[in-house]
Amino acid sequence: MKALFPYIKRFKSQAFMMFIGLFLSVTTLMAGIGLLSLSGWFLSATAVAGLTVLSAQMFNYFTPAGGVRFLSIVRTASRYGERLATHEATFSLLTDLRCWVWNKLLPLSAKNLQGVRQGDLLNRLVADIDTLDHLYLRLITPLAASLLMMIALYFFVGHFDIELARTLCAVLLAVWILLPTTFYFLGRKPGMAQLETKRALRVQVLEYIQGQAEITLFGAQQAYRTRLEQAQTAMISSQNAMNRVTALSQACLILCHGFAVLLMLYLAASGVGSSVPPGPRLAMIVFLTMATIEMMMPLAGAFQHLSACTAAATRLNEVVEQAPCVTFANGECSNVSAGNISVSNIEFGYSDKQKVLNGLNLEIATGQKVALLGQTGCGKSSLLSLLTREWLPNNGQVRIDGRDAGEYSEQQLRQSMSVVSQRIYLFSGTLRDNLAMAITGFTRKDDDKLIAVLEKVGLQSLLQGDKPLDMWLGEGGRQLSGGEQRRIGVARALLRDAPILLLDEPTEGLDKRTEREILRLLFEFAADKTMLMISHRLTAMNKMDSIHLMEQGEIRVSGSHAELLANDAYYASLFKRLA
């Protein structure tokens, strides 16, 4: 239950609308119970009045009939208003929760999220937050409304007979307390299993869809489909287990309600207050007890929603309660202008068992063009992650413009660098949206810049039609080829005027001719900038001021292209084979 407290605190932003929803819910219940109890009394009183001509003539038919019509209208209007108010409050709460969780997630580094699969994280952001809408809509509101109705029933029935009021409210209160509590513990295990199996199935489906090309290429479809079927079977089994508990809870609720009706019928049959025999009041009490099923019905499913909300909140807390492993300063120092980089005695590993970088030292002067070469796993991309402060070194220091990287604010550090990574991520938006993020304070007046840079990187084919920048790229840029996606990544770098340019395999997947064109553009763009390029290919190495060959987390040899050709046999053979 403690897991829910941070989310209940968020309710204060919608306190007014939540109060309106609760008020209308209580009004609806009052109107419904009043309608049935008044109808029971009216029918009985009419039958009794009709026994004699005199009583029939004296009986007031119009006031009760008007009351029935009035309560019918009130019940319909308040139910409609309740739906509007409670759903408005719920959707606003979900919006607030998503923004709050997202703001908690943004400062977390890769180390914080290490071991969390993308599908699992997406499930927490979407499905788990959606589950929390039950907290107000199906837990707090119906339970609070039914409790308030018990108080109202006590005073109403107590006006006629205090003993009947105590008995009725005691039975209802016992059901209100015992039923959700009992079935919360009975349904906790299947409820957790249901949420977990749904999560597992969503993760499996997402990975299957995202990796469809590779799965088909390597003939692993059958294995993945088997795992999907197993996950689906597990989810259906957990749902069946929860359905059995839910059915049992509903049966118990109906049984308790039936017991309450029979008990009140038995007690009221001997008289209601001063009315002996009870006459129409008996019907009123019995019909009123029958009408309480409406306010007690949400109790049957309350335990299920409570266990699901608790489990979802616990999973979200695993993310939002983390303290960011990577922090930034307030940015009191000046912005990066020169762009020189110094890496001193860096030691780093993604776990304590294995180091990726061992005492690495690297100096890049302002305006230098440096290449970092080495086999996969030698630590090149890890070094780039340390420069961008995605990870922190275990030991050593990263300095930019003579200051420790930790002295800059996040905004200052991001503005000092343009990064072209191995994976170019394109958002589900237009071509303009995916390029505009590279320009601070972008306006539609900058469209000409976007078109010019697209032409530079060889994407004239996308500039067709009257409004080429409005072309929809889709999630992950599914409308584009891999080469086109990479060119857009390069275009972003060209649009961003930062003193440091970091390139991680910028031409991966491009043919030799296109690779040379893209590198030519990058060198022209970075003429007065500091550039560090990670590559497996040796194109344009003769334009580099310095080349460093890495092995097992250390720089084995450094020098210019000509020096390495003359003095390092491995580099010479590599260049001969690849170039």
Q: Two tokens at 216?
A: 């088909």
Q: Amino acid identity of 302?
A: A
Q: In whole angstroms, what is the distance from residue 298 CA to residue 296 CA? A: 6
CATH 3.60.21.10: does it fit domain 2-320?
no
> Beta partners for 532?
370, 502
Instruction: Name the segment(s) of the chain with CATH classification 1.20.1560.10.
Output: 2-320
**DSSP per residue, 343-393:** EEEEEE-SSSS--SEEEEEEEE-TT-EEEEEE-TTSSHHHHHHHHTTSS--
Q: In whole angstroms, what is the distance from residue 171 CA to residue 165 CA? A: 10
pLDDT in tens, 206-251: 888 878 878 888 888 899 899 999 999 999 999 999 899 889 999 9
pLDDT in tens, 171-212: 999 999 998 888 888 888 888 888 888 888 888 888 888 788
Q: Amino acid identity of 308?
A: A
**Which strand (E) or helix (H) includes residue 75?**
helix 62-105
- Cα distance from N-terminal residue to C-terminal residue, the chain: 64
- Weakest-pLDDT range from 51-65, 125-139, 336-350: 51-65
Residue at token pair 């070194």: 393
* Length of the chain measured in residues: 579
pLDDT of residue 414: 87
pLDDT in tens, 122-133: 888 888 888 888
Residue at token pair 């003539």: 57
Q: How far is CA 142 from CA 156, 261, 300, 392, in A?
A: 20, 21, 11, 49
- Identify the CATH assignment for 329-415+544-579 out of 3.30.450.90, 3.40.1000.10, 2.60.40.10, 3.40.50.300: 3.40.50.300
Q: Amino acid identity of 350?
A: Y
pLDDT score of 79 more than 70: yes
Q: Name the residue among 215, 179, 154 with its Cα closest to residue 298.
A: 179
pLDDT in tens, 253-265: 999 999 999 999 9
The three-state secondary structure class of 573 is helix
Q: How far is CA 116 from CA 111, 120, 142, 195, 326, in A?
A: 10, 7, 36, 17, 17
* Residues in CB range of 493: below 8 A, 6 or more apart: 418, 419, 420, 438, 501, 503, 506, 522, 525
> Beta partners for 399?
342, 404
Q: In whole angstroms, what is the distance from residue 68 CA to residue 244 CA? A: 39
pLDDT score of 579 more than 70: no
> Beta partners for 557?
549
DSSP category for residue 276 = S
pLDDT of residue 33: 94
pLDDT of residue 481: 80
pLDDT of residue 145: 93
Q: Name the residue among 148, 155, 139, 146 with its Cα closest to residue 176.
A: 146
State whether the Cα torsion 151-153-155-157 is positive or negative. Answer: negative
Supply φ then ψ for residue 326, to 5 degrees: -110, 120
**DSSP per residue, 15-45:** HHHHHHHHHHHHHHHHHHHHHHHHHHHHHHH
What value does the mean pLDDT of the chain take?
87
Residues 49-70, mean pLDDT to the nearest whole number: 82
Q: Amino acid identity of 414?
A: R
Q: In whole angstroms, what is the distance from residue 571 CA to residue 567 CA? A: 9
**Which strand (E) or helix (H) includes residue 286?**
helix 280-291
Q: In whole angstroms, what is the distance from residue 483 CA to residue 419 CA? A: 17
Instruction: Name the segment(s) of the chain with CATH classification 3.40.50.300.
Output: 329-415+544-579
DSSP category for residue 395 = E
pLDDT in tens, 418-445: 888 878 888 888 888 889 888 888 888 8
pLDDT in tens, 367-399: 999 999 888 888 888 899 999 998 999 999 999
Q: Two tokens at 297?
A: 């019905």
